[in-house]
């Protein structure tokens, strides 16, 4: 019998700690597949965030160095400047990258650090139990916005990817989602391209992935995916935000 | 060892770092230590393997240090008190992850924004870990231009040997002062031994993780005890003091860094009128040279702690002597630099008040 589907080589034989329906498991798998396909295990160094995905190193069979909350881009800068021929990526949630780590991210992008960022946007602080995130959408209920996010009190969700796009050092930024098979395939293509941008030495690349957090949205996995398509994408449209590279 | 050249303190540290094989520097401007950052910008730009980044913040700088340190290369950052507070997050992570790094603190008056004048108000912060969690950093206190060079070299050796962040504690006086210095021969970073724990891509070997998150409480406890055992080893191996005119001393002044220079001037003055006074100068603040102090307390009855603060090292002296001897204190915080005459008067008063002139 021919094997048509299996565990990616660079995904350890471990059970994910993520909740049922969580998008992290999908994106982890995609990244492991990409590392396999690009054959870069021996060159890649990953930087996990603080947040649910801090344990990413329990799953990826690659070198990984943990960054303090939000400082992924600064740690990655140090790694990449020390080893310019290695492939350095950070894996960061919305709170990590778009709240506490905004400064490190914008300046690494503006310097054009030749690193790749996988930005998981699920609109909520997952690990700490469902507080308002910088990307929580207007009206969305969280444990710290019990009546829904209010524009006047809480501000509007921050468009970090668009902000990064206007800096000179970024070359490729795309927003995708993992709410459907079609979008999962699109996400894999985008992350692959982001890695290839770095391998070609072209500059800062980032893929923002809208990702379901059913537990903290207090929805079923199916409802959470539907919520991404019907609500989240109205504020965060899926699109190529910046591409100065073209075809690779 | 080359011939002596005249150089200001902050340049001495920078040159010594480059000669120690440090090719990575990250920093954010803050007075009174900008000359160090500027020197590194120049020096590293002229080296093909040099990397200098003026970071967007001290937080970013210390996290870039973490990134380079994970790859095993020698790396340094520097700042002054308010900036060092910002770096404490990263210093805690470096400690938990057992990563080597060298951090220069040119202390200034505080708390808060304070001023830019020489101070020793960060002693607690430096010697008690500084950030969150149960850890220590090695803290060196140079007392001359030559020691700025020697201790900078030594700080990289200690950092690598013990996989620990090393802090050099100076102040604006130390970093602005020009003194003749002879540098040790430069080290080619390529000649340094490979570190077996670095991240460089898991080519042909099992993957590695560098982290400080240890959710399992038993494993976290064991990690804390492992760090503790390392700190015990450091406490046995590296405490160092300078003794100045202590052989016949009845009163010993204890001071470090700039304060020790002033104390020496004061001691020379009171020696001229026959007072038997010496100086014990800790070169390492953590580990604190407790045994040297205890040793001395067998023959000396009175100690005077002199600091440019309201009394911080004072606590370590008290903890070392455990009430066995009289401990006096004189300190001037806020960036005030006492004169040798002022300290001579303090010594004089204590000496006669305690009757030390009597046989």
The pair of structure tokens assigned to A178 is: 């993992």
A204 strand-pairing partners: A170
Classify B66 as helix, strand or coil. helix
- Whether the CB of B210 is below 8 Å from some CB of chain A: the reply is yes
Tell me the domains of chain A and their CATH numbers.
Answer: 23-243 (3.40.50.970)
- What is the share, in percent, of chain B residues with pLDDT greater than 70? 99
Work out the average pLDDT over B335-343.
Answer: 97
B78 strand-pairing partners: B27, B104
Q: Write the burial class of residue B354 (CB in 10 Å: 0-12 exposed, 13-18 middle, 19+ buried).
A: middle
The Cα–Cα gap between B175 and A62 comes to 43
The pLDDT assigned to B208 comes to 98
Selecting from A61, A63, A82 the residue whose C-beta is nearest the C-beta of B68 gives A82
Residues 6 or more apart in contact with residue A17 via CB below 8 angstroms:
A55, A58
Q: Where are the beta strands (DSSP E) in chain B?
A: 5-8, 24-27, 51-54, 75-80, 101-107, 138-140, 165-171, 178-181, 209-210, 241-244, 251-254, 277-282, 284-286, 302-307, 326-331
- Whether the CB of A81 is below 8 Å from some CB of chain B: the reply is yes
Work out the average pLDDT over A96-116.
Answer: 98
Contact between chains at B90 and A64 (C-beta distance less than 8 A): no
The pLDDT confidence band at residue B1, using thresholds 50, 70 and 90, is: low
- What is the share, in percent, of chain B residues with pLDDT greater than 90? 99
Selecting from B63, B70, B97 the residue whose C-beta is nearest the C-beta of A74 gives B63
H runs (alpha helix) in B4-97: 9-19, 34-45, 58-70, 81-96
Contact between chains at A104 and B69 (C-beta distance less than 8 A): no
Residue in A17, A40, A54, A82 to test binding to B, most B beta-carbons within 10 Å: A82
Selecting from B67, B89, B213 the residue whose C-beta is nearest the C-beta of A78 gives B67
Q: Which residues of chain B does A55 touch, with a Cβ-Cβ cutoff of 8 Å?
A: 213
The pLDDT assigned to B6 comes to 97
- Whether the CB of B55 is below 8 Å from some CB of chain A: the reply is yes
Distance of residue B67 Cα from the nearest chain A Cα, in angstroms: 4
> Tell me: the pLDDT tens digits for A120-152?
999 999 999 999 999 999 999 999 999 999 999
Angle, CA B146 vertex, CA B48 and CA B32 arms, to 5° = 70
Report chain A's mean pLDDT, rounded to a whole number.
Answer: 97
On whether the CB atoms of residues B146 and B283 are closer than 8 A, the answer is: no
The H or E element that residue B123 is part of is: helix B123-127
> Tell me: the pLDDT tens digits for B128-157?
999 999 999 999 999 999 999 999 999 999
On whether the CB atoms of residues A114 and A203 are closer than 8 A, the answer is: yes
Distance of residue A74 Cα from the nearest chain B Cα, in angstroms: 5
Work out the average pLDDT over B56-68.
Answer: 98
The pLDDT confidence band at residue A105, using thresholds 50, 70 and 90, is: very high
The pLDDT confidence band at residue A45, using thresholds 50, 70 and 90, is: very high
Phi, psi of A216, rounded to the nearest 5 degrees:
-85, -20
> Tell me: the pLDDT tens digits for B78-120?
999 999 999 999 999 999 999 999 999 999 999 999 999 999 9
> CA dist A13 to A9, A23, A29, B202, B221, Å?
9, 19, 12, 17, 27
The pLDDT assigned to B184 comes to 95
Work out the average pLDDT over B59-69.
Answer: 98
The pLDDT assigned to A246 comes to 86
On whether the CB atoms of residues B31 and B107 are closer than 8 A, the answer is: no
Distance of residue B31 Cα from the nearest chain A Cα, in angstroms: 22
Distance of residue B215 Cα from the nearest chain A Cα, in angstroms: 10
Work out the average pLDDT over A190-215.
Answer: 98
3-state secondary structure chain A: CCCCCCCCCCECCCCCCCCCCCHHHHHHHHHHHHHHHHCCCCCEEEECCCCHHHHHHHCECCEEECCCCCCHHHHHHHHHHHCCCCEEEEEEEHHHHHHHCHHHHHHHHHCCCCCEEEEEECCEECCCCCEECCCCCCCCCECCECCCCCHHHHCCCCCHHHHHHCCCCEEEEEEEECCCHHHHHHHHHHHHHHHHHHHCCCCEEEEEEECCCHHHHCCCHHHHHHHHHHHHHHHCCCEEEEECCCCC
On whether the CB atoms of residues A41 and A199 are closer than 8 A, the answer is: no
- Whether the CB of A36 is below 8 Å from some CB of chain B: the reply is no
The pLDDT confidence band at residue B223, using thresholds 50, 70 and 90, is: very high
Closest CA to B328 of B314, B316, B342, B341: B314
Report chain B's mean pLDDT, rounded to a whole number.
Answer: 97
Q: Which residues of chain A does B55 touch, with a Cβ-Cβ cutoff of 8 Å?
A: 74, 107
Work out the average pLDDT over A34-63.
Answer: 96
On whether the CB atoms of residues A243 and A194 are closer than 8 A, the answer is: no
The pLDDT assigned to B359 comes to 67
The pLDDT assigned to B67 comes to 98
Q: Which residues of chain B does A82 touch, with a Cβ-Cβ cutoff of 8 Å?
A: 24, 51, 67-68, 71, 73
- Whether the CB of B68 is below 8 Å from some CB of chain A: the reply is yes
The pLDDT assigned to A1 comes to 82
> Tell me: the pLDDT tens digits for B257-300?
999 999 999 999 999 999 999 999 999 999 999 999 999 999 99
Selecting from B64, B93, B97 the residue whose C-beta is nearest the C-beta of A78 gives B64
pLDDT greater than 80 at residue A90: yes
The pLDDT confidence band at residue A234, using thresholds 50, 70 and 90, is: very high
| C-alpha atoms less than 13 angstroms from C-alpha of B258 in its C-beta half-sphere | 29
B25 strand-pairing partners: B52, B76
The pLDDT assigned to A247 comes to 86
Tell me the domains of chain B and their CATH numbers.
Answer: 5-202+224-237 (3.40.50.970), 241-353 (3.40.50.920)
- Whether the CB of A41 is below 8 Å from some CB of chain B: the reply is yes
Q: Which residues of chain A does B90 touch, with a Cβ-Cβ cutoff of 8 Å?
A: 68, 71
Phi, psi of B51, rounded to the nearest 5 degrees:
-130, 120
> Tell me: the pLDDT tens digits for B161-186?
999 999 999 999 999 999 999 999 99
The pLDDT confidence band at residue B2, using thresholds 50, 70 and 90, is: confident
The pLDDT assigned to B121 comes to 98
Residues 6 or more apart in contact with residue A206 via CB below 8 angstroms:
A109, A116, A117, A118, A119, A161, A164, A170, A172, A173, A174, A194
Distance of residue B214 Cα from the nearest chain A Cα, in angstroms: 10
Distance of residue B121 Cα from the nearest chain A Cα, in angstroms: 27
Q: Which residues of chain B does A61 touch, with a Cβ-Cβ cutoff of 8 Å?
A: 202, 207
> CA dist B292 to A166, A189, B37, B356, Å?
60, 65, 36, 22
The Cα–Cα gap between A145 and A150 comes to 8
């Amino acid at each position: 019998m021919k094997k048509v589907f299996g565990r990616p080589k660079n995904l350890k034989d471990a059970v994910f700690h993520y909740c049922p329906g969580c998008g992290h498991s999908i994106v982890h798998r995609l990244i492991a597949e990409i590392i396999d396909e690009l054959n870069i295990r021996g060159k890649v160094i990953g930087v996990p965030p603080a947040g649910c995905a801090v344990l990413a190193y329990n799953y990826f069979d690659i070198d990984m160095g943990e960054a303090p909350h939000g400082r992924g881009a600064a740690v990655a800068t140090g790694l990449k400047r020390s080893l310019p021929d290695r492939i350095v990526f950070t894996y960061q949630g919305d709170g990590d990258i778009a709240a506490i780590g905004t400064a490190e991210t914008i300046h690494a992008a503006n310097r054009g650090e030749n690193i790749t960022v996988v930005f998981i946007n699920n609109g909520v602080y997952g690990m700490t139990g469902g507080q308002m995130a910088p990307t929580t959408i207007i009206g969305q209920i969280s444990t710290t916005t019990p009546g829904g996010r209010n524009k006047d009190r809480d501000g509007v969700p921050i468009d970090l990817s668009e902000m990064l796009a206007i800096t000179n050092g970024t070359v490729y930024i795309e927003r995708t989602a993992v709410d459907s098979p079609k979008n999962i395939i699109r996400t894999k293509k985008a992350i692959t391209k982001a890695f290839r941008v770095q391998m070609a030495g072209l500059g800062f690349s980032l893929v923002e992935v809208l990702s379901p957090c059913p537990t903290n949205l207090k929805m079923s996995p199916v409802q959470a995916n539907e919520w991404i398509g019907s609500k989240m994408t109205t504020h965060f449209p899926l699109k190529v935000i910046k591409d100065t590279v073209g075809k690779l | 060892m080359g011939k002596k050249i005249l150089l200001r303190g902050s340049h001495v540290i920078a040159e010594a770092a480059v000669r120690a094989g440090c090719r990575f520097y990250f920093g954010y401007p803050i007075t009174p230590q900008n000359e160090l950052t500027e020197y590194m910008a120049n020096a590293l730009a002229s080296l093909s393997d040099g990397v200098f980044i003026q970071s967007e913040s001290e937080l970013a700088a210390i996290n870039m240090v973490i990134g380079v340190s994970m790859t095993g290369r020698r790396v340094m950052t520097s700042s002054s008190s308010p900036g060092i507070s910002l770096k404490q997050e990263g210093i805690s992570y470096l400690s938990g992850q057992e990563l080597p790094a060298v951090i220069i603190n040119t202390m200034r008056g505080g708390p808060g924004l304070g001023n830019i004048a020489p101070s020793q108000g960060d002693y607690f912060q430096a010697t008690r870990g500084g950030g969150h969690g149960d850890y220590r950093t090695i803290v060196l206190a140079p007392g001359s231009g030559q020691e700025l060079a020697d201790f900078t070299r030594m700080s990289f050796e200690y950092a690598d040997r013990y996989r620990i962040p090393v802090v050099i504690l100076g102040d604006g006086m130390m970093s602005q002062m020009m003194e003749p210095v002879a540098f040790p021969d430069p080290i080619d970073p390529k000649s340094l031994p490979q570190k077996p724990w670095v991240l460089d891509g898991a080519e042909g070997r099992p993957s590695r993780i560098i982290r400080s998150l240890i959710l399992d409480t038993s494993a976290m406890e064991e990690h804390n005890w492992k760090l503790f055992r390392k700190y015990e080893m450091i406490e046995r191996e590296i405490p160092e003091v300078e003794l100045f005119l202590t052989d016949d001393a009845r009163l010993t002044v204890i001071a470090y860094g700039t304060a020790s220079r002033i104390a020496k001037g004061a001691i020379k003055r009171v020696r001229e009128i026959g007072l038997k006074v010496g100086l014990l100068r800790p070169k390492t603040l953590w580990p604190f040279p407790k045994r040297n102090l205890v040793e001395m307390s067998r023959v000396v009855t009175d100690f005077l702690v002199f600091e440019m603060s309201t009394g911080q090292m004072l606590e370590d002296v008290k903890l070392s002597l455990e009430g066995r001897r009289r401990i006096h204190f004189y300190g001037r915080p806020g960036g005030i630099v006492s004169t040798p005459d002022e300290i001579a008067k303090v010594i004089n008063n204590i000496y006669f008040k305690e009757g030390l002139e009597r046989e």
